[in-house]
Structure 1
Amino acid sequence: MTILANVWAYLWGTLTVVPFLGFPLVYFILYGMTRNKKLASRFAINITNLLVIRSAVSAYELIWPEAFSAWWWVFCFYLVVTILLGWVQMKWKGRLSLKKVGFSAWRLSFLWFGIVYIVLFTTGIIKTMGVV
């Protein structure tokens, strides 16, 4: 492998294990390029959300390799949350804005998958220590 491929592999591996490092990394790179704090923070939050989801899925698959695919759980989560938020919005406002529902589901997923990642990370450590 080339040096660039090695650096990319180590960076990707580090961001999979510690996805919250993605926020300052993306923020400072984007802020340095654009000098726009609002754009940099929004983009960094979105990238960190993707990293947290990927890390939670990876941790799930390492802990339970024979289990049902974690990507289906992610899909079901988004489906249920979108339906519930749409229903709540229809009850309160009387109309449905898919843009607001999607944005809210995306932001809630950051909180949910952050918690899931921490629980799975801790479970993986405990399971590994039980084997050793």
Structure 2
Amino acid sequence: MTFFGKLWSLLTGTWTYFWAILTAFPFLGFPLAYFSIFAWKRDRRLAGRWAINITNFLLIRAVAVGYSVIWPEAVSVWWWITGFFVTAIALLGFIQVKWKGKLSLLKASFSVWRLSFLLFGLVYVVLYTTGIVKTMGNV
């Protein structure tokens, strides 16, 4: 194998392990994103918003992987995630129309995205605990 082949193999392996660690422990993405963006932009609020958004993506990925590992024969988790977002945006949009008389899908979507951080954080902890209990039951 050539030097560049070995270098490419090392880089792809490192990248794969990095993503595996962030999938197993998505909350590690928060300080990584926060400090990277803060070092780049020198804005704490912007860094905090971006860190929450990136961690939310990592949480969704971790929940999807955890669900498929614990229940491999079940319905795809992406249907559940899509259904959650569509239903939550529709509910918040309905509440907006009732209270304010007009609909802002952008505000409803951002609100659901922020709330999903809390929901997927809770689901991640539940799935992580369920996976540990299920694995210990097989031992």
Q: C-alpha offsets along residues 1-54 of structure 1, whole Å, 9 cap, x if unaligned? A: 622212211110110011001010011111111111111111111000000001
Q: Which residue of 2 aligns with 1:92?
A: 99
Are 2:90 and 1:103 aligned? no
Of 54, 58, 61, the residue aligned with 2:65 is 58
Normalising by structure 2, report the TM-score.
0.92
Q: Which residue of 2 aligns with 1:81?
A: 88
**Percent pairwise identity:** 56
Q: Which residue of 2 aligns with 1:2?
A: 9
Are 2:88 and 1:46 aligned? no
Secondary structure of the corresponding residue to residue 110 of structure 1: helix
Normalising by structure 1, report the TM-score.
0.97
Are 2:119 and 1:112 aligned? yes
Secondary structure of the corresponding residue to residue 96 of structure 1: coil
- Unaligned 5+ runs, structure 1: none
Question: Take 2:127 and 2:31, find their aligned partners in 1: how far apart are those partners?
Answer: 23
The amino acid across from 2:75 in the alignment is F
Larger Cα-atom Rg: 2
Question: Take 2:77 and 2:47, find their aligned partners in 1: how far apart are those partners?
Answer: 30
Question: Number of matched residues?
Answer: 132
Q: Which runs of 4+ in 1 moved over 6 A?
A: none
Instruction: Please report the RMSD computed on the Cα atoms of aligned residues, expressed in angstroms.
Output: 0.9
Secondary structure of the corresponding residue to residue 74 of structure 2: coil
Q: Which residue of 1 aligns with 2:130?
A: 123
